[in-house]
Structure 1
Amino acid sequence: MRADRLVSLVLLLRQRGRLSATALARELEVSTRTVLRDIEALSAAGIPVYAERGRHGGFALLPGFQTELTGLNHDEALALLVAGSRRGAQAFGLGSALASAMLKVVDALPESHRGTAAGVAERMLIDPETDLLARRPDVDEVPDAVVAEVRRAVFAGHRLRIRYAAVDQAPAWRTVDPIGLVTVRDQGYLLAVRSGEDRTYKLSRISAAEELAEPAQRPDRVDLDRMWQERGARFRAGGELVAVVALVDPARRAELAGTGLAVLAEDAEADGRLRLEVTFQDARHAEWALWQLGADAEVVAPQWLRASLRDRAAAIAARYEES
């Protein structure tokens, strides 16, 4: 909305001083023409914005200009700044709203605390885009219009029509009663009920959504954390779960445990390796996870997985020998 953008523009000028129209356009994700129109609107509303021409020119506020925003103490603002660095907002289509909110959080601080809080926040990084091996996380891409419609239905308590593509199935429309939204490792999920049965939908598989006028059939209050744990337990207890026994280098133990569903047993071997029994979602999941560990893991059982990894390694070795 334009009103939110105008507030963000004023806050940017307050916190960063003089900025060019190009820099403001980049921060606000609009065109420079839109920025110039917004500057005119602010001037007409009595906001003391002035232009400085020249190579290092731009727009600035008259010194001493204050906005009326609710103040926060230092620790409250710092907590919000740190929380705001997480990418969960991206999964729910709230990235631009989060950026605007962070500007307001900083601006709400007393001037004596503003620099300290921003400086401390700069020294804490939560969930960077890559790990030490430059591997990027698997982040869902969900159209803003779709996730916005889902959000509205969840918060308003209305039924929702979604066009959803289940695994190995063509997209189809279905009507659900939305309960809540969950983000796990940058993957967004909609928890809902359909025809009286619990359902979990991955947001990236929803290609279209429509909020309906009729109220959703759902409880007034919900414990999403408990509900997620229960659904996860049911998922792990059913389907084609595969249990794997492997000898693993202790340095790679956390990686395998984090990839699998659960570690059922663990013992130390005489050669320093760990004997782990780990469950996986299915055969493909198990083979992929153990292959990632290379020579740092040796499958003991099941025999078919041991043979599959051996054949895969032999095929790659043969390819390189041919070269």
Structure 2
Amino acid sequence: MRADRLVSLVLLLRQHGRLSAARLARELEVSTRTVLRDIEALSAAGVPVYAERGRHGGFALLPGFQTELTGLNHDEALALLVAGSRRGAQAFGLGSALASAMLKVVDALPESHRDTAAGAAQRLLIDPETDLLARRAETEEVPGAIVAEVRRAVFAGHKLRIRYAAKDQAPKWRMVDPIGLVTVRDQGYLLATRAGEDRTYRLSRVLDAEELDEPAQRPDRVDLDQAWQERSTRFRTGGDQVAVLVRVHPARRDDLVATALAVRTEEADADGWLRLEVTFQDSRHAEWALWQLATSAEALSPQWLRSSLHTRATAIATRYEAPS
């Protein structure tokens, strides 16, 4: 790992010219002290790194220094394969590998193309952390050591022990046969089987993981897209889900559908509003979704949902009632 970091350090200096120890530490996700030790190691190996002191000082390479440093390691190559989604790489614990791989890709470009590519990249921003309303994207943090252990078991085809905290349950150790990893809207999932039954585990709820030497019981080939579709269908049609009949203004129709698990029926009313039968994960999900739409939607049934929304609206109105 240190060899890869040293390569990344040299590539950063080649592409940026001069960088402070603090900036290098941030880019490499290590401490400033580690950066200084790496600089000493590079100097001892004959790489011409020199320090510039002062307010705008830092470390730089002697002009014209060239060397072959662009070989991709396994994780970097894997990161590039999932680079269509930067957050996908993050969800699978490959964020730092992706950054390192991209440095090597840029360094491998002909010099005539390098500046053009770098300039074009500055004109593109993909999947920022906030939207136009300054709402931060919800990303789930999974410790790198845990997701790396899960990833190794998936690729090696070995059984996996995980300590998993299911919703509203105490954490328990489980032995699973890993099949693959899926990321959806910045949330990572492990698809596996347990005692021959399909199981789906949210990576953010995996508290510990251990790859075993025993081979996993799984088919040699898998269609992850099909497997995910089948599990999504079972999820939408099982559990404590509730069906709700809703009248919604056409302008908010997509907002309603985006929060629902499925749309069963849809038709237009005489006044132009839409009448939909939709399913939600549970009663709390249904109440939350309808509350977001305020007066742009009306839950027609079930009656308990209407009563719950009425109680909440009455409490809010009472709280904000003008003082006498």
Q: TM-score, normalised by structure 2?
A: 0.90
Single out whichever of 232-241 and 146-155 deviates more from structure 2.
232-241
For 1:101 and 1:12, locate their aligned partners in 2 and report how far apart those are by CA, in whole Å.
Answer: 12
Q: Hey, what's the Cα distance between the residues in 2 that align with 1:148 and 1:31?
A: 21
1:207 alignment partner, SS class: strand
Does the 8 Å contact 2:246/2:300 carry over to 1? yes
Deviations 1:92-115 (A, max 9, x none): 222222221121122121122222
Q: Secondary structure at the match of 1:321?
A: coil
Q: What residue number does 1:33 align with?
A: 33
Sort the Cα spacing of 1:31 and 1:166 in 2 relative to 1 into closer, same or farther, 3 A.
closer
Corresponding residue of 2:186:
186
Tell me the distance in 2 between the aligned counterparts of 1:319 and 1:177: 53
Equivalent in the alignment of 2:76: none
Verify: 1:170 aligned to 2:170, yes or no.
yes
RMSD, aligned α-carbons: 2.2
Question: Are the structure 2 counterparts of residues 282 and 82 from structure 1 closer, same or farther at C-alpha, using a change threshold of 3 Å?
Answer: closer
Runs of 4+, deviation exceeding 4 Å? none
Write the letter of the residue equivalent to 1:39.
I
- Asked if the contact 1:84–1:102 (Cα under 8 Å) also holds between the matched residues in 2, the reply is no
Confirm or deny: 8 A CA contact 1:82 1:126 kept in the other structure. no
Unaligned runs of 5+ residues in structure 1 are: 72-79
Amino acid at match of 1:229: Q
The answer to whether structure 1 residue 241 and structure 2 residue 276 are counterparts is no
Deviation at 1:313, TM superposition (A): 0.6
Q: Is the 8 A contact 2:82 2:89 kept in 1?
A: no
SS in 1 for 2:191: strand
Name the SS of the counterpart of 1:83 in structure 2.
coil
Q: Distance in 1 between matches of 2:35 and 2:112?
A: 30
Counterpart for residue 291 of structure 1: 291
Aligned length, in residue pairs: 316
317 and 93 in structure 1: CA distance in 2 versus 1, 3 angstrom threshold? same
Provide the residue aligned with 2:318 in structure 1: 318
Task: Give the distance between the partners of 1:178 and 1:146, measured in 2 at CA.
Answer: 14
1:62-211 equivalence runs, <5 A: 62-68=62-68, 83=83, 86-211=86-211
**Counterpart for residue 232 of structure 1:** 232
Q: For the Cα contact (< 8 Å) 1:181–1:189, is it kept in 2?
A: yes
Displacement of 1:185 in angstroms is 0.8
The one-letter code matched in structure 1 to 2:284 is R
Distance 1:112 1:259, change over 3 A: same
Mapped partners of 2:116, 2:131: distance in 1: 28
| Segment drifting more, 310-319 vs 105-114 | 105-114
Q: Would you say the 8 A contact 2:245–2:278 is kept in 1? A: yes
Partner of 1:300: 300
Which secondary structure does the structure 1 equivalent of 2:320 belong to? helix
Secondary structure at the aligned position of 1:169 is classed as coil
Q: Which residue of 1 aligns with 2:219?
A: 219
CA deviations over 1:104-127 (Å, ceiling 9, x no partner): 122121122222223333333332
Name the CA distance, whole Å, in 2 between partners of 1:294 and 1:149: 45
CA–CA distance in 2 between the matches of 1:30 and 1:299? 53
CA contact (8 A) 2:83 2:89 kept: no
Does structure 2 conserve the Cα–Cα contact (< 8 Å) formed by 1:150 and 1:160?
yes
Query: Retained in 2: the 8 A contact 1:85–1:125?
Result: no
1:82 offset after TM fit, Å?
10
Q: Distance in 1 between matches of 2:240 and 2:55?
A: 66
Supply the AA of the counterpart residue of 2:243.
Answer: A
More deviation in 122-131 or 90-99? Answer: 122-131
The alpha-carbon distance between structure 1 residues 69 and 8, as it changes in their structure 2 partners (threshold 3 A), is: closer
Deviation at 1:68, TM superposition (A): 2.0
CA–CA distance in structure 1, aligned partners of residues 290 and 118 of structure 2: 43
**Structure 1 match to 2:10:** 10
Mean Cα deviation higher: 272-281 or 310-319: 272-281
User: Is 1:278 the counterpart of 2:278 in the alignment?
Assistant: yes
Q: Is the 8 A contact 1:81 1:102 kept in 2?
A: no
Deviates more, 1:171-180 or 1:104-113: 104-113
SS at match of 2:245: strand
8 A Cα contact 1:159 1:214, kept in partner:
yes
Contact 2:86 2:95 (8 Å CA) reproduced: no
Q: Output the CA distance in 1 between the equivalents of 2:118 and 2:271.
A: 50
Q: Deviations over 1:176-214 (max 9, x none)?
A: 111111111111111111101111111111111111111
Secondary structure in structure 2 of the residue aligned to 1:142: coil
Q: Compute the displacement of 1:69 (Å).
A: 5.1
Listed as ranges, the gaps of 5+ residues in structure 2 are 72-79
Q: CA deviation at 1:252?
A: 2.3
TM-score by length of 1: 0.91
Q: Which string of whole-angstrom CA distances, capped at 9 and with x for unpartnered residues, describes residues 285-309 of structure 1? A: 1111111111221112222212211
CA shift for structure 1 position 89: 1.6
AA matched with 2:295: A
